[in-house]
Amino acid sequence: MRYTQFTDSDVKHMLSTIGVKSIDELFKPVPAGLRLKGALDIPSGLSELELLDDVGALAANNSPCCERVCFLGGGAYDHFIPTMVDSLAGQTEFLTAYTPYQAEASQGVLQLFYEFQTMICMLTGMEVANASLYEGATATAEAVTMATAITRRNKAIVVDNVHPDTLSVLKTYDRDRHVETVAVPAAGGVVDEAALRAALGKDTACVVIQSPNFYGCVERLDRIIPMIHEHGALAIVAADPLAGGVLKTPGEFDADLVVGEGQCLGIPLQYGGPYLGLLAGREKYLRKMPGRVVGVAEDAQGRRGFCLVLQAREQHIKRERATSNVCTNQGLMAIRASIYMAAMGRKGIAEVASQCFDKAHYAADQIASLDGYELAFDAPFFKEFAVRTTHDVPTVLASCRKRGIEAGVHLGRFGDRLNDCFVVAVTEKRTKAQIDDLVDALQDA
Amino acid sequence: MSVVAEMPQNTTTPKLQQHDYPTLFEIGSKGLSAVSLSKSDVPAVDRKAAVPAELLADTTPALPEVGELDLVRHYKRLAHRCFSIDENFYPLGSCTMKYNPRINERAAAMGGFANAHPYQDDADAQGVLELLYRLRCDLAEIAGLPEVTLQPAAGAHGEMTGLMIINAYHRARGENRQTVLTPDSAHGTNPATCTVCGRASVSVKSLPNGRMDLDDLRAKTDNDTVALMITNPNTVGVFDETIADVAEILHAKGAQLYLDGANMNAILGITRPGDFGVDVMHYNTHKTFSTPHGCGGPGAGPVGVAEHLRPFLPVPQVVKKGDGTFAWCSDRPDTIGKVRSFMGQIGVLVRAYTYIRGLGSDGLRDVADKSVLAANYLAAKLKDRYPMPFPAPYAHEFITVPDFAGADEHDIAKRLIDHGIHPPTMSWPIHHCLMIEPTETESLRTLDRFVEVMLSIADEIESNPEVVRGAPHTTPVGRLDEVTASRKPNVRWRPE
Ligand SMILES: Cc1ncc(COP(=O)(O)O)c(C=O)c1O
């Protein structure tokens, strides 16, 4: 492939305009001793057909979960993606534009991000949201940074039933940024309120709670958040943006910041990324937020427009005093999510949430009635739940896979403690017949 | 053909009412949706029995309610109000707005990649693992460094990952170094990354010729220096030939040389960071390797490291096993850990792989040649009217500091919009500059038209400066009052 368009005579003309004899002369500043001798050790270029064969063969050498019936979750879900999303987000005006620094030339996407921010507020019950971060775990790390800046305290408490990657990422970030993250153990799958109370102190900047958590359990935010506030700490809730169709939003419980993984909003699984980091919060924290934020502005004639606002928070203005180093974020994923939310609308999103809830509960009831299987926890859940079994979990999952079913995510892969458990996610896409097949497969395993 | 845009049109347009550019929340009607969902075929659960009443929603989120056709028109109209590479020349310096090949999109959309779950078995993901492994190796070869991690989500995230690796290295040697040097011309993410990594950034001066001031560097490098974060070719568009000396000054004090790889486009196959003394670098796949910018992401920021830093790379790493199969490996006791959830921006990495393998070693080298040729050609054509503070030859981009009495760099940038050209980067890395990066994928015709437009604007500033100062005239809105917009931010729609 070649994407350059200069002909040999173009090159000649250009060189003579510049006043050099060869392209090589333009590389004069690179000292001879530092020049690469010979060519890079990378295969030579391919034609389009050869390239399609090469990538096509690699694509074909996967057996994507969606070729089977997929009950895998753990932060990445097989939700239905309406045709509208690919069709409209695929417009190359969106695909091939840069971050909208030049407002007049970017009104379309600026308005789109404004709408995105608004809809994320609606789903989380918060007052303001930014225009995206990388993904759920780094969004959580950014929220912790925000909380330490707001409270001027440096201890973060994290309940250990959050996504394991969130815990890992917080640990990685903390080592260098002088924040101390303390993991408080969960009990019965949910926050151990006594342990949390004991851990809270005057130095606590924030508590990170995921609800529904990694095991699918819904947390008692109604009791936990007031407890956090009593200590002057901020409540950061990692939420499933779809859960608002069935459950109260974190905002209704007075959460200070809401983070989340937005993959469920119309983004394909893609083997783990690119996904969409969500960050929403109370209005009074807007100036401490990281990332792009779009707002309404007027031109000299009083016409409504949109532009990036509060840029003085960001690295290109504030440099080492910026709220974060984030620059490129997940623009196109926010565009997808926006189109997904708009296409679903109020009715659609409620229906998706409701079906996830009903189907997950149907599946849980059936599985729990099998010999050798029980629900690992009795806390309420939304679309995902943990199953404990007396059988060997990898064997069970492998046997389901042979029958064309991805039955769930083995919790043993994240540590020994729940080695006898796996988590089953049931989206609105699953049918009763598919769930019944899963139940049969588990029974036979 | 006249290159001068049509005369200002909207100066005579009556003030547009709000509903002329309605948001989603201002269109639609109660009960509409653009999606047809299947009916549930399981029994409805008694929610009150399943969830404590305190946790149950009383209502549903008030998302917009719009029918399918109106929604299509809405997003179509929004798309029309964006400048993009597919429609416009986009010489945005430092951002490498090159053509984003269609075939990349086709590759990433292949079901074997797009529909794979991050927790499915390695055995069911051999193709994507092999792709990632090959990409990892190709990027290591291009960098001249032994190992690359594909995990970071963007350039700035790569910077953070790299600096964390360096911090871990110093820690492992029992050192607690606290200052990171950044050139005064550094991109904002460099100093911001220092803060994210709990380190103080100290600025190093540049010389009038755009190169690093080695005396200042020597004076500021000591046993507390973590690293220098440098961009080379640097942000003013020149390759710093003293780079080997820079590396030596740092290494003599045990400090590391970090390369911001934003400008790799200019040196692909010409010279390799590992060969000029770099210890850690990040790539921006969304610049150098043509993955689309998507209105600000997703990108990817793979990080390459020298031998002594390999133990600290993030996990998991994609590896090739003895039996020829591929797997994720987390066996790296000194790792900094994970820097994001799951394994990376896989869909973006598939595009980068497709680009690299499509071009091959010869094609990559051609990218460097042609991007440098294009930049130097534009500079040569513009230099009489647009002063350039740094001496040619340039790498893949160059800087001009326009010096007109009647209009400034902002005005010129905004006037370009009227000609269908996206403005260059403005006012960075030096005051009042324009940073112009044509990239290798434009035709000579497009470059010549740009020159013509730039020269016409220079004339216009002399003959009719108000037109330039009032630009843009052809956009849905004129220059916006960003100050008021930030003072009283309205960042979400609310019903009246
Ligand atoms: C020189 C330089 N460094 C770093 C970055 C940050 O990269 P990213 O936007 O991918 O985070 C950019 C681009 O925005 C850049 O131009």
Q: Give per-residue pLDDT as tens, A113-131.
A: 999 999 999 999 999 999 9
Average pLDDT over residues A44-73: 97
**What is the radius of gyration, based on Cα positions, of chain B?**
26
DSSP helix/strand/coil, A43: coil
Q: Spell out, as residue ranges, where chain B has pLDDT lower than 50.
A: 1-19
Report H helices in B344-490.
Answer: 346-382, 409-418, 444-463, 465-469, 482-487
Q: Is the dihedral of CA A15, A21, A23, A28 positive or negative?
A: negative
Q: What is the reported pLDDT for B20?
A: 60
Residues 349-408 of A with CB under 8 A from B: 349-352, 354-355, 357-359, 361-362, 380, 401, 406
Q: Which of B415, B383, B377 is nearest to B397 (CA)?
A: B377
Q: Tell me if B35 and A30 make a contact (CB, 8 A cut-off).
A: no
Q: From the CB of residue A33, how many other CB atoms can be counted at a distance below 10 Å?
A: 9
* Virtual torsion, Cα B189, B190, B196, B200, nearest 10 deg: -140
Tokens of A152: 């001027």
Distance CA A92, CA A247 (A): 37
| Cβ neighbours for A383, distance < 8 A, ≥ 6 positions apart | A73, A77, A212, A216, A240, A242, A243, A356, A357, A359, A360, A425, A426, A427
Residue pair A363/A438 in contact (Cβ under 8 Å)? The answer is: yes
Bridge partners, A183 (sequence order): A158
Q: From the CB of residue A348, how many other CB atoms can be counted at a distance below 10 Å?
A: 24
Residue pair B148/B164 in contact (Cβ under 8 Å)? The answer is: no
* Residue B9 is assigned to a structural domain of this protein: no
Element (H, E) at B142: helix B126-143
C-alpha dist (Å) from residue A145 to A138, A178, B473? 11, 10, 42
Ligand 1 geometric centre to CA of B187 (Å): 7
Q: From the CB of residue A12, how many other CB atoms can be counted at a distance below 10 Å?
A: 11
Instruction: Give buried/exposed letters for A395-406 (b at 16+ CB in 10 A, else e).
Output: ebbebbbeeebb
- Using the Cβ of A81 and the Cβ atoms of chain B, whether some distance falls under 8 Å is answered with no
B110 vs A contacts (CB less than 8 Å): 55-56, 59
Distance CA B438, CA A443 (A): 63
- Tell me how many degrees the CA angle A416-A417-A418 measures, rounded to the nearest 5: 95
- Asked if this assembly's ipTM is beyond 0.95, the reply is yes
Q: Which of B40, B189, B380 shows the shortest C-beta gap to A325? A: B189
The CATH number that applies at residue B254 is 3.40.640.10
| Cβ neighbours for B128, distance < 8 A, ≥ 6 positions apart | A58, A59, A62, A271, B112, B113, B116, B346, B350
Report H helices in A289-414.
Answer: 315-318, 331-368, 393-402
Residues 387-446 of B with CB under 8 A from A: 392-395, 413-414, 417, 422-423, 428, 440-444
Average pLDDT over residues A24-30: 97
A102 vs B contacts (CB less than 8 Å): 83, 413, 417, 422-423
Q: From the CB of residue A296, how many other CB atoms can be counted at a distance below 10 Å?
A: 22
Residues 42-61 of A with CB under 8 A from B: 42-46, 48, 51-52, 54-61
Distance CA B285, CA B330 (A): 24
Pairing of strands B147-149, B200-204: unpaired
Mapped to the 3 state alphabet, what secondary structure does A369-402 carry?
CCCCEEECCCCCECCEEEEEECCCHHHHHHHHHH
Bridge partners, A299 (sequence order): B480
Q: Which of A39, A26, A33 is nearest to B276 (CA)?
A: A33
Tokens of A23: 């392209």
Domain that holds residue B205: 103-358
DSSP helix/strand/coil, B70: helix
Q: Output B248-254 pairs: Cβ under 8 A, ≥24 positions apart.
A: B248/B277, B249/B214, B249/B217, B249/B218, B249/B221, B250/B221, B250/B225, B251/B277, B252/B221, B253/B221, B253/B222, B253/B223, B253/B225, B254/B170, B254/B173, B254/B175, B254/B223, B254/B225
- Using the Cβ of B113 and the Cβ atoms of chain A, whether some distance falls under 8 Å is answered with yes
B338 vs A contacts (CB less than 8 Å): 137, 165, 168-169, 172
B444 vs A contacts (CB less than 8 Å): 5-7, 10, 13-14
Number of domains in chain B: 1
Q: Which of A280, A188, A241 is nearest to A382 (CA)?
A: A241
Say which amino acid occupies A337.
Answer: A
Q: From the CB of residue B442, how many other CB atoms can be counted at a distance below 10 Å?
A: 25
Distance CA B373, CA A20 (A): 10
- Using the Cβ of A251 and the Cβ atoms of chain B, whether some distance falls under 8 Å is answered with no
C-alpha dist (Å) from residue B40 to A168, A353, A365, B44? 38, 11, 17, 8
Say which amino acid occupies A242.
Answer: L
- Whether residue A155 has pLDDT greater than 70: yes
Distance CA B16, CA B22 (A): 11
Out of B284, B339, B396, B430, give the residue to mutate to test ligand 1, the one with the largest number of ligand atoms within 8 Å of its CB: B284
Q: What is the reported pLDDT for B496?
A: 76
* Residue B12 is assigned to a structural domain of this protein: no
Ligand 1 geometric centre to CA of B494 (Å): 34
- Using the Cβ of B44 and the Cβ atoms of chain A, whether some distance falls under 8 Å is answered with yes
Q: Which of B466, B65, B270, B83 is nearest to A108 (CA)?
A: B83
* Residue B427 is assigned to a structural domain of this protein: no
Q: Which residue has the tokens 């020298």?
A: B306
Distance CA B488, CA A332 (A): 27
Q: pLDDT above 70 covers what percent of chain A?
A: 100
* Residue B70 is assigned to a structural domain of this protein: no
- Tell me how many degrees the CA angle A361-A186-A416 measures, rounded to the nearest 5: 90
Reported as a pLDDT band with limits 50, 70 and 90, residue A5 is very high
* Residue B293 is assigned to a structural domain of this protein: yes
Distance CA B263, CA B487 (A): 35
Per the omega criterion (within 30 degrees of 0), is the bond before B429 cis?
A: yes
Q: Tell me if B116 and A273 make a contact (CB, 8 A cut-off).
A: no
* Residue B217 is assigned to a structural domain of this protein: yes
- Tell me how many degrees the CA angle A99-A100-A106 measures, rounded to the nearest 5: 135
Tokens of B190: 């460099």
- Using the Cβ of B146 and the Cβ atoms of chain A, whether some distance falls under 8 Å is answered with no
A36 vs B contacts (CB less than 8 Å): 144, 269-272, 275
Ligand 1 geometric centre to CA of A236 (Å): 29
DSSP helix/strand/coil, B45: coil
| Cβ neighbours for A110, distance < 8 A, ≥ 6 positions apart | A100, A103, A294, A305, A306, A307, A308
Distance CA A406, CA A387 (A): 14
Inter-axis angle of helices B155-172 and B189-196, to 10 degrees? 50
Say which amino acid occupies A47.
Answer: S
Is ligand 1 within 6 A of the CB of residue B299?
Answer: yes
Domains of chain A with bracketed CATH = 66-79+345-444 (3.90.1150.10), 83-340 (3.40.640.10)
Closest chain B residue to A320, measured at CA: B192
A294 vs B contacts (CB less than 8 Å): 491
Edge-first strand listing for the sheet containing B398-400:
B398-400, B434-436, B425-426
Bridge partners, A206 (sequence order): A156, A234
Distance CA A430, CA A408 (A): 13
C-alpha dist (Å) from residue B94 to A69, B98, B187, B260? 45, 11, 9, 11
Residue pair A110/A100 in contact (Cβ under 8 Å)? The answer is: yes
- Tell me how many degrees the CA angle B47-A226-A174 measures, rounded to the nearest 5: 105
* Residue B236 is assigned to a structural domain of this protein: yes
* Residue B255 is assigned to a structural domain of this protein: yes
- Substitution target in A49, A62, A309 with the highest count of B β-carbons within 10 Å is A62
Average pLDDT over residues A372-381: 98
- In angstroms, how far is CA B177 from the centroid of its own chain? 29
What pTM was estimated for this model as a whole?
0.97
Ranges A305-309, A315-319, A369-373, B7-11: which has the least confidence: B7-11
Element (H, E) at B9: none
**How close, in Å, is residue B263 to chain A by CA atoms?**
14
Report H helices in B144-212.
Answer: 155-172, 189-196
